[in-house]
Amino acid sequence: MTGPATHEFTLDADSELRLDLLLARELGTSRTHAATLIANGNVTVGNKREKASYRPESGDRIVVVLPAPPSREVLAEDIPLDVMFEDEHVMVVDKPAGMVVHPAPGHWSGTLVNALKGRGGALAAGDQGEDRAGIVHRLDKETSGLLLVAKTDVALRKLGADLAARRVVRRYAALSWGHLTSDRITVDKPVARDPRDRKRMAIVTTGRAAKTDFVRLARFESVDLLRAHLHTGRTHQIRIHLASVGHPVVGDDMYGGGGGRRLVELPQHRHFLHAAWLIFPHPVTGESVELRSPLPADLRRSLAAVAESEALLVHPDPLDDLGFYRLTT
């Protein structure tokens, strides 16, 4: 597992909250947990320890040292996986919606990593820890589609470098509410944790650079079908960027797109976002590997409903018919 983490922030105004309540809001945790961190000496305000009842002032620099989580064995579990590509170096999995990628509080089993360990064989360890063995990049729990897994440390380092250099091409199919102002838009806005809710992401001026290209493939009565191309890979990037321009992903409860499920025949908790197209240089041979994942059944039913076309239900890959894989579109 990874070691302790440090969280630092500076107040730009006097706090109306006690230190424990302020930390609970900042860290997205409970007041009890925040008070425990303070009592154990994990919190300093201006290099000094303060009580939980202390009310921070403007300019106070607050440093929180978050202890490493207790070691927890990642169990191998017999969970079927749809493997789209595999050799001795790398694997590409078609992740189903509802599956968390790696173990974390609240999801210690049933994850992709548990399933990968259940298959046996090598997985890259790197410095990520056992709970993230082999993981090159992540998909949100309710996002389906193609995900890279490294089986050796060499492959993990190379694929990580290729991701950073934008040599790994990731394109997603998304259904968004309303209609974009034009058929092609680029959203280039920095993303970071929402300062008011640590469980969410937000557009934050001091956040990390994030850029997404969107192309409208079809316009229906109340939604657009989009192809999203990631230039960066921030948490919830596509969802945040679409919400920021007033067109959240259909079914996205967290960022304002959760209403109207019956209208689009989308299951509860599912959002319409699918990692459909992946192109990457093989980490050893350097040859280009291109993979496609047709829309899963639940998203196909939703697309057929908004398009009012039952033919889409039986089409081998409706995205192909709608020009998803044609870059001139």
> For the chain, how are helix, strand and coil distributed in percent, rounded to 5?
20, 30, 50
Just give the CATH number of 83-164: 3.30.2350.10
Q: Which residues are catalytic?
A: 140
Same fold across 5-66 and 169-280+294-321? no
What does the pLDDT profile of the chain (329 residues) look like in tens digits?
455 678 888 887 777 889 998 888 788 777 888 899 999 999 999 999 999 999 998 889 999 998 766 556 788 999 999 999 999 999 999 999 999 998 877 778 899 999 999 999 899 987 667 778 899 999 999 999 999 999 999 999 999 999 989 999 999 999 999 999 999 999 999 999 888 887 899 999 988 899 999 999 999 999 999 999 999 999 999 999 999 999 999 999 999 999 898 899 999 999 999 999 999 999 999 999 999 999 999 999 999 999 999 988 888 899 999 999 998 75
Q: What is the CATH number of domain 169-280+294-321?
A: 3.30.2350.10
pTM, full prediction: 0.80
3-state secondary structure of 118: helix
Q: What is the DSSP letter of 128?
A: T
What residue ranges do the domains of the chain occupy?
Answer: 5-66, 83-164, 169-280+294-321
Cα–Cα dist 305/313, whole Å = 9
List strand residue ranges (DSSP E) for the chain, in order.
Answer: 5-10, 43-45, 61-66, 83-86, 90-95, 144-150, 169-177, 184-188, 191-194, 197-203, 211-219, 223-230, 273-281, 288-292
> Which distant-in-sequence residues (6+ apart) come within 8 Å of 329 by Cβ?
215, 217, 227, 323
Which residue(s) pair with 289 in the sheet? Answer: 280
Beta strands in 70-131 (DSSP E): 83-86, 90-95
* CATH architecture of structural domain 5-66: Roll (3.10)
